[in-house]
Amino acid sequence: MTAADPPVRPVVARRLRIGLLIVAWFSLASALAGMIGLTIGGGIGIPLEWLDGSVFDSYVWPGVILGVVVGGAQALALVADHRHFRVALGLHAAAGLVMMIWIFVEIAILLVWSPLHGIYFAAGLVQVVLAVLALGAWPRPFLARSPR
């Protein structure tokens, strides 16, 4: 490796990395708990009528999708972060987007809003913002002008 080569991993401020890890672990644990509740727990007490008009006749498949897609995206980001892969920050941003898309689709299917939707959407948004900031989106100095 020469002096001109980029570092193996972008230098990420410790606070940003800790924030990303907290949000990702929270989201992963929530997705897995939701998957278990929806599949084994019979829908966690959510009325089955909320699925009327959707392609689902029970909460089993939504639970599987929640665990595999949303939880899987979070798990990939956490593994990449732990192994110090260059793609880790991008995977954190993608996992946050997956969380936000899941919430939009869930609201669109159920036509019901819950405070939990706001919490999980905010968690996804925070994860995306932290990942983008960790990737260097914050200019230094903040109000500096670009040369013409």
pLDDT in tens, 20-44: 999 999 999 999 999 999 999 888 8
Is 28 part of any domain?
Answer: yes
Band (70; pLDDT cuts 50, 70, 90): very high
Work out the mean pLDDT of the chain and round it to a whole number.
89
CB neighbour class for 137 (10 Å; exposed up to 12, middle 13-18, buried from 19): exposed
Q: Is residue 127 part of a domain?
A: yes
Domain boundaries, position 27: 14-43+58-134
pLDDT value at residue 8:
45
Residue 109 lies in a domain: yes
Contact criterion met (CB below 8 Å) for 95 and 132 = no
Q: Would 36 be classed as within a structural domain?
A: yes
What is the pTM (predicted TM-score) of this model?
0.84
In a domain, 21, yes or no: yes
In a domain, 120, yes or no: yes
**Residue 148 within a domain:** no
Burial 46-76 (b: 16+ CB within 10 A, else e): beeeebeeeebeebeebbebbbeebbbbbbb
How far is 24 from 75, CA to CA, in rounded Å? 8
For residues 111 and 142, give the distance between their C-alpha atoms in angstroms, rounded to a whole number. 41
Tell me which DSSP letter residue 141 carries. S
Question: Could you give the number of structural domains in the chain?
Answer: 1
117 located within any domain: yes
Across residues 74-100, what is the average pLDDT? 97
What are the b/e assignments for 97-122, b being 16+ CB within 10 Å? Answer: bbbbebbeebeeebeeeeeebeebbe
